[in-house]
Amino acid sequence: MKRFALRERTRGTPRLGPRIAALGTMIFIVLGIVAGRLYFLQIIKHRDLAQMADRNRIRILRLPALRGLVFDRRHRPLVDTKPSFEAAIVPEDSPNLPVTIAHLQKLLGVEGLEKKIDDADDQGRPDFEPVIVAEHLDWPQVVALESHQLELPGVNLQVSPQRHYLYDSLAAHLLGYVGEVSLKDLDRLPDYRMGDEIGKFGLERSLESTLRGDSGGQEIEVDAVGRRLRLLREIPERPGDSIVMTIDLDLQRTAEAAIGDRTGALVAVDPNTGYILAMASKPAFDPNIFAEGISSAAWRELATDPNHPLENRAIQGTYPPGSTFKIVDSIAALMDRAITMDTSFFCPGGIWFGNREYRCWRKQGHGHIELHRAIVESCDVFFYDVGEHLGVDRIAAWAHALGLGRKSGIELSNERAGVIPSTEWKERRFHQRWYPAETLSVAIGQGYVAVTPLQLAMMAATVANGGTLYQPQFVREVDALDGAVVKQFPPIVRGELHIDPKVLDEVRDGMIGVVNAPDGTAHAARLDNIIVAGKTGTAQVVKEAQGVRTKETALPMKYRDHGWFIAFAPADHPKIAIACIIEHSGHGGSSAGPVVKQVMEKYFELYPAQNAQPAASAAERAVSEHVEPLDE
């Protein structure tokens, strides 16, 4: 067959055949490249691109769980959630966005909504995702939005739960507050997302995992413009569990009212369990302002307030215990046989030690005095002598055993340990040896000694219950939403001190005298029908100059001493133990004493004492010569 096109021609004339072949070769090389590209996309990059396809079409909506409620010991609500209204806008649904925004701003009386939409867009807001432009709307704003709905295309009213503290600042330091999760927390908490609520302080923080519950979610298929097409999967949220506290609402209120506008703290505990009945710290703050989204100005004001309203003085305030520390001296001296109950010292109103005078608060002195009267009248010289006989380390050992100078183990962050000095402590802290004269200051609870009100309350409870140191707790149980008990918190014993019951009786007798004897320093705390045992204390803020006796009221407020009072009642079978400090109030008997009295009165009004009920007899407890090592 002859082929017209491929016939041999004159030399140099292009032939069709080879050119077609060249074209064919080029074509198949190109098709090969296309096939290679498809192999790359569909086989090699398949996984990545398939994921991207899913990310395109699936949008995850999180449904945050409702935070658990908080009740007092009698199941009365203290913290719940209330609806909070917010205005949301879907810019794609508004045909004339600037007009809608202008109208909305006028109705709400706010500005800068445009910027919020721009910010959301900058952060990659997908189309048709609403932007929340105004939160925490008040009632007139909600009504305005509702009634102008038709003029506001794309604008929706949304409801979100907001933490609500029913009694405002009541027990604020114990309950704490919530806020938006911080960027730092987001790194370590994988379950949290930007904008989530998290407990920041107090119980809200300590029991975050209990209160929070598990957020649910929806997987929604969307089309290319973001319209929601169908629900692919839904995981329902699990609401947080409720917490039943050990505190009593009425007692807490009484305690806070009794402190009033003064600065101070009070801790009331059940000496037989370590459950906290009331914990007050003043001044306080209103946790609701955090739930509403606190402004940075308001936050600065709270944080820089010289009275430190954000500080929980009950666990974070460390003060010299003053004469309340004589309880420690007494127990230590009797148990270690440094003195007997009949040992008598002479108080001339002060003693010279080294080249310095150590005074008794009573200028004219107490004369010959033994332990009982020394506690009742709070003779300083008696305890200087006791301190000298004991030495600082034995005092420190007993103070530690009674829970002073170390964290109580309460489930709150930022608890401070305070200081109980010893020779070893001073060596470690200052690289100095201990001077015997310093023991005298320690003996009357001054000098380096610093304790928290909670520690003193737990010490009072230990003396009251016959020598068991409990871990203070403020949660009694965790309940599910339907009321079923999820978890209970039985009392936790931190240490058994094995104090000779006779020693404890002697100390208690002294404390009864403090409140009930005519010469007692806390006569103001006496109750008519219940025997209260207590001890006053004065925490020096500044050292008095040598040889000068200043009248307290002549000093400027910030240099005045803090007044302490610790107590328990009824003295024979104690139901409540309290420590209270009122800052810069001078003598504890006249300032903290009446506060404790009011709380005691309220307690016995709420929980009348059964006279027939004998206390777990101190005599039944084991007698031991030494202090058991404590587990911490």
Give the footprint of another protein on this chain (CB under 8 A): 3-6, 9-17, 19-21, 23-24, 27-28, 30-31, 33-35, 37-39, 41-43, 45-46, 48-50, 52-54, 56-57, 221-225, 229-230
How far is 472 from 326, CA to CA, in rounded Å?
23
Is residue 242 part of the annotated active site? The answer reads no
Shortest Å distance, C-beta 90 to another protein: 18
Question: Are 579 and 463 within 8 A, CB to CB?
Answer: no
Look-up of token digits 């917490």: 243
Check: CB of residue 562 under 8 Å from CB of residue 319. Answer: yes
Q: How far is the CB of 228 from another protein (least distance, A)?
A: 11
Nearer to another protein, 24 or 195 (CB): 24
Compute the distance between CA of residue 285 and CA of residue 456 in angstroms, rounded to an integer.
Answer: 24
User: Smallest distance from the beta carbon of 106 to another protein, in angstroms?
Assistant: 32
Instruction: Determine contact, residues 593/613, Cβ cutoff 8 Å.
Output: no
Q: By the 8 A CB rule, do 62 and 236 touch?
A: no
Let me know if 411 is exposed, middle or buried by CB neighbors in 10 A (0-12, 13-18, 19+). Answer: middle
Half-sphere exposure of 120 (CA within 13 A, CB side): 18
Nearest approach, Cβ of residue 230 and another protein (Å): 8
And the tokens for 579?
A: 């420590």
Q: Where are the alpha helices (DSSP H) in 453-541?
A: 453-465, 501-516
Comparison of 223 and 424: residue with beta carbon closer to another protein:
223
For another protein, the closer of residues 31 and 485 by Cβ is 31
- Comparing CB distances to another protein, the nearer of 227 and 558 is 227
Q: Do 213 and 81 contact (CB within 8 A), yes or no? A: no
| Spatial separation of the C-alpha atoms in residues 229 and 252, rounded to whole Å | 53
Structure tokens at 520: 């007692």
Residue 6 or 143: the one with the smaller Cβ distance to another protein is: 6
Q: For the residues of 248-293, what is the DSSP string, one character each?
A: -HHHHHHHHHHHTTS-EEEEEE-TTT-BEEEEEEES---THHHHT-
Which of 4, 139 has the CB closer to another protein? Answer: 4
CB of 24 to another protein, least distance (A): 4
Distance of alpha carbon 618 from alpha carbon 339, whole angstroms: 21
Compute the least distance from the CB of residue 225 to another protein, in Å.
7
Q: What are residue 472's DSSP bridge partners?
A: none
For the bound state, the minimum distance from the C-beta of residue 40 to another protein, rounded and expressed in Å, comes to: 8
Of 12 and 490, CB closest to another protein: 12
Beta-sheet pairing, 468-470 with 493-496: antiparallel
Of residues 206, 215, 242, 323, which has the active-site annotation?
323
Q: Pairing mode, if any, of strands 70-71 and 242-245?
A: parallel
Give me the active site residues, please. Answer: 323
